[in-house]
Amino acid sequence: MEYVAFLVGKDLFGIPVTLVQEISKPVQIFPVPGHDVRVAGLVELRGRTIVALDLRRCLLEKLPDDDPPARRKFIVLETTSSLPHSARAMGLATHVEPLVLVADELAGIWDGEHMDFHPPPAHVPAPFVEGVVQFRNHLMTLVSIPALVDALMPQKEESL
């Protein structure tokens, strides 16, 4: 499996490539009052209004002192319906609505074939972590999209 790798603060994270629809330059974020602070707000991309998640607030223990870089990136996720069959077959899932992850910097596309997978360390509370992969000297934390969605997105369908 291939991963899109990205930096949040100084830490390296990744998600499977198949969950990514597109990577785009940042656009203006319109804050939504009353939301969880981890939701950055709404963005307009290709005519759609999409919820953007602030990965700094989601994934980092402590907010870094410096402002997020000007050239941060938006990772646009596939929706459940647009997810390829192969991905579903592998048990991957996303959200019913499109979602944007706001990352500080991209770190390229990594091929997972040569990497060792480790489950998250049991004694560390890490709600959004699916596991850790190691490639040479680097450790990349795999972000669990379903966990993020569960925690942050109101389950509209169920309430309806």
Partner 1 sequence: MKSAAEKHFSIFDPGIHFEHREFYERIVSELNGLLPVCNQGKSTAVEISENTTEQEQITELMTRVESFSGDLLEVTKKLFDQYYLAKEALHRSILETTAYNKINTLDRNLLERTCDVRWWALETAFSACLDTHSRARALAASLSTQAPSPGRRKAGTLPPDLMAALSDPGTLTSREGPGRLSDLLEGAVADASCEESFRDSAQALLEILPELSAAVALSCDRLEDIRHSYTLYRDIVLATSEGRILANANPAERDRVLGLDISAESWFEKALATRNGTEYHAQDLGESRVERRASLVYATAVRESSNENGRAIGAMGVFFDFQGEAEMILKESMPTDSEGSPLEGAYSLFTDKDGRVIASTDPISLPPGTIAHLPRGNRTLGPGERTARYLVFEGLESAVFSARTDGYLDYRGLGWSSHVIVPKSLLFAQASPPEGIGITAEELMDSRILPDINKRTYLRVQDDKESIQLISLNGIVFASKLGKRGGALGPIFNQITRTGDMVTSRMEDILKEMALGELELNLKALENFSLQAIDLVDRNLFERAADIRWWATDEYFWNALADPGPDSFHRASERLKVINTSYTMYRNIVLADDSGNIVACSRTELRNELAKTNVSDQTWFQLGMRTARSDEFAVQDVQKSPLEKSKARSLVYCGGVRSRGIRCGESIGVLGTLFDWDTEARKILSTCLPRDAEGAIIEGSAAFYTNAAGEVIETTDETAFPTGSRPGLPQTVQKLAQGATTSFVFEGESGRFLAGSSRTKGYREYEGLAWCAHVVRPIGT
Residues that bind partner 1 (CB under 8 A): 2, 4, 17-18, 20-25, 71, 73, 84, 86, 106, 108-109
**Minimum gap (Å) between residue 55 Cβ and partner 1:** 17
**Minimum gap (Å) between residue 106 Cβ and partner 1:** 7
Nearer to partner 1, 7 or 106 (CB): 106
Q: Is the dihedral of CA 8, 142, 3, 150 positive or negative?
A: negative
Report which of 152, 153, 122, 126 is spatially closest to residue 141, judged by C-alpha positions.
126
* DSSP assignment of 33-58: TTS-TTEEEEEEETTEEEEEEEHHHH
**Minimum gap (Å) between residue 82 Cβ and partner 1:** 10
Nearer to partner 1, 82 or 155 (CB): 82
Residues contacting residue 79 through CB under 8 Å, at least 6 positions apart: 94, 95, 96, 97, 98
Nearer to partner 1, 3 or 128 (CB): 3
Q: Where are the beta strands (DSSP E) in the chain?
A: 2-8, 11-16, 20-24, 39-45, 48-54, 73-77, 99-103, 105-111, 116-118, 129-135, 138-143
Nearer to partner 1, 4 or 55 (CB): 4
Nearer to partner 1, 39 or 143 (CB): 143
**Minimum gap (Å) between residue 16 Cβ and partner 1:** 9
**Minimum gap (Å) between residue 86 Cβ and partner 1:** 7
Beta bridge partners of 14: 5, 142
